[in-house]
Amino acid sequence: MKVVVGHLYPDYLNIYADRGNMAVLARRAAWRNIEFDYRVVGFGDSLRPGEHDLLYIGGGQDREQALVAPDLAGRRAELEEAIEGGAAALAVCGGYQLLGQFYRDRSGAELPGAGIFDHYTVAGERRMIGDVLLECELGPDARGTIAGFENHAGRTTLGSNAVPFGRVVAGFGNDGESGFEGCRRGRALGTYLHGPLLPRNPWLADWLLSQSMARRLGEPPPLAPLRDEIESRAHEVASGRAFSRGGRAN
């Protein structure tokens, strides 16, 4: 079995060690004898139809987002074709914002989005920072809590067709008010959760792996279970820190 991954702009969007998410997926694939074909997609590189099983884009500060936004927005048709063709995707923080309709910073300058998710983001005056805990359900056999870390000024508003990634148990989430975090479109996920996200949420990492393989196989294959003692402990510690915040912040 094989998973082909396209990592968009890793030299620009890699705040809070977001590359670690790729390291986790590569290791969990290797433990199961799944080939992990990692490919960088940068400026000038095309997203050829049917090439990638999983697309990944990390987070960055406003300067880096401004650098990549026009190029990413210009890939809208390519991205749509990949997602509609069954590819999985994970977009974190800045990447999540840029896959929406637009991102407007505090100066009023507006960056174009790729329009993959039905949301838009406007920067607020106060940053929303800290540990986060979500309740998340991605299917009948894929539900649980997600622990991560957020640090963003953007307030993301979901559109009428948007499905949230999770519900906030503790932390701010998309806007600090709605109780929603992130966005989901089929096998594509967008979230503000850094950390990196996947080391402390192994069930989510495995969901992404199986969904990525489903593009070729037609259905998500069952994955051999792993021990995950360290990963579970990391989730427990991060969840405890989030709970110490006293519930959802407004």
Which band of pLDDT confidence, cut at 50, 70 and 90, is reported for residue 196?
confident
Q: Which residues of 56-69 are buried (b: 16+ CB within 10 A; e: fewer)?
A: bbbbbebebbebbb
Span 57-112, pLDDT tens digits: 999 988 999 999 999 999 999 999 999 999 999 999 999 999 999 999 989 999 99
> From the candidates 93, 119, 136, 235, which is the catalytic residue?
93
Residue 7 maps to a domain: yes
Distance between CA atoms of residues 84 and 86, nearest Å: 5
* pLDDT-derived band at 33, boundaries 50, 70, 90: very high
Instruction: Say what the pLDDT of residue 249 is.
Output: 43
Residue 21 has pLDDT above 70, yes or no: yes
Let me know if residue 249 belongs to a domain: no
- Split into its structural domains, the chain has a count of 1
pLDDT at 152 over 90: yes
Residue 67, domain extent: 2-243
- Based on DSSP, count helices (H) and strands (E) in the chain, helices before strands: 6, 12
Residue 248 lies in a domain: no
Among residues of the chain, what percentage have pLDDT more than 90?
A: 89
Q: Is residue 250 in a domain?
A: no
What pLDDT is attached to residue 17?
A: 81
State the DSSP H helix or E strand holding residue 35, giving kind and residue range, or none if neither: strand 35-41
**Is residue 150 packed enough to be buried (19+ CB in 10 Å), middle (13-18) or exposed (0-12)?**
buried
Label each residue of 159-182 as H, E or C.
CCCCECCEEEEEECCCCCCCCEEC
Note if 194 is an active site residue. Answer: yes
136 is catalytic: no
Does pTM top 0.85 for this prediction?
Answer: yes
Structural domain includes residue 30: yes
CATH code of residue 227: 3.40.50.880
pLDDT of residue 18: 85
Provide the 10 A C-beta neighbour count for residue 154: 25
Q: Given 52, 119, 152, 194, which residue is catalytic?
A: 194
Do 173 and 180 touch, CB atoms closer than 8 A? yes
Residue 49 lies in a domain: yes
Q: Binning pLDDT at 50, 70 and 90, where does residue 245 land? A: confident
Buried b (16+ CB within 10 A) or exposed e, 211-243: bbbbbeeeebeebeeeeeeebeebbeebbeebe
User: What's the pLDDT at 246?
Assistant: 59
Q: Tell me the residue type at 55.
A: L
Answer whether residue 130 is part of any domain: yes
